[in-house]
Chain A
Amino acid sequence: MNALAIIGEILVLIGTFFYFLSALGLIRMPDVYNRMQTSTKSATLGSLGVMIGVGLWALGSSFGSVAWLTKTIVIAVFLLLTNPISAHALIRAAYKSGIPLWHGSVVDKYHEYIASKTGAENAEETAEEVSE
């Protein structure tokens, strides 16, 4: 039973390491889009590691029961399904409200697509909005 506790502790450690990376990414990345990249991915996997780790840890120690593990699994699945959606909503809202890409960005197909969809006369307006 003790092996489970050790695996759980290691998972929690890995999870906190990814939390740290997520926070570091927020500082190091140049614009909102790249920050979303690092924070979403690392925070999701970090949370999964911490939650499943706590479940296994409780299973391996004397105070725990299997109820811990099943509850953490439910929470982990819920987080796994909802976290990317919130990231998508945030990044889309950022783009729609006209936050510019980083100057090092190489390609922006979405802007071309919006321009082609709204028609030639509106395209210039959209371009101005985005550049502001």
Chain B
Amino acid sequence: MEEAGKISRYLYTVIVLFLIWLFLTASTDPQELAMGLVFSLLIGAFTYPIFTTRGLANLHPRRVAYAIAYVPYFLWAMIMANLDVAYRVLHPARPIRPGIVHCKTVLKTNPGKLALANSITLTPGTITLDVDGENYFIHWIWVPDEVLHAESDEEHVERASSSITAPFEKFLRVIFG
């Protein structure tokens, strides 16, 4: 992945820090804003090398639009996940059939992989156990029949990926590249 210039990365860090300050103080008093800007500039100067590698390119309108569209999609998946958990916990027979399955992802960048792992952990019945390169190992609380009875490893990976990682990748591929 290409690295953005230092100034671009620095400015992006300052913008994010200042936004957090705005939310935390919830005040538009000029004194508060000035102090927040000073602190953002200071902290940004120390932390921008570890915070971002792409700088202001993160604020590309297409990426921001996809990120905003991702929020309700993700929240919906999370609510479904919790109804699923509620069903499994409250059902007298405790319908679980756990297993660790193997998925592959098409995402290339580290932030993208992190976001995908987080999304998997919070959605129905799956939790990320390990990530190694493009391989994801996922503990699934109910391994469905078509994955369980796959004949070869490739088929297993393909079927598991299409039901676990693919729904998020169409968003995350645009947001994180």
Contacts and interface: CB of A to CB of B under 8 A. Distances in A.
Interface of A: 18, 21, 24-25, 28-31, 33-34, 36-38, 40-42, 44-45, 65-67, 70-71, 73-74, 80-81, 83-85, 87-88, 91-92, 95, 101-102, 104-111, 113
Contacts of B164: none
Interface in B85-143: 85-86, 88-90, 94, 96-102, 114, 117-118, 121-122, 125, 127-130, 132, 135, 137, 139, 141, 143
B143 A106 contact: yes
Q: How large is the interface on B (under 10, 10 to 19, 20 to 34, 35 or more residues)?
A: 35 or more
Contacts of B24: 70-71, 74
Contacts of A113: 102, 132, 135, 137
Nearest to B84: A41
A84 B89 contact: no
Contact of A28 (B79, B89, B130): B89
Contacts of B148: 106-107
B88 A38 contact: yes
A81 B121 CA distance: 11
Nearest to B150: A107
A92 B117 CA distance: 13
Interface string B134-158: 0101010101000010000000100
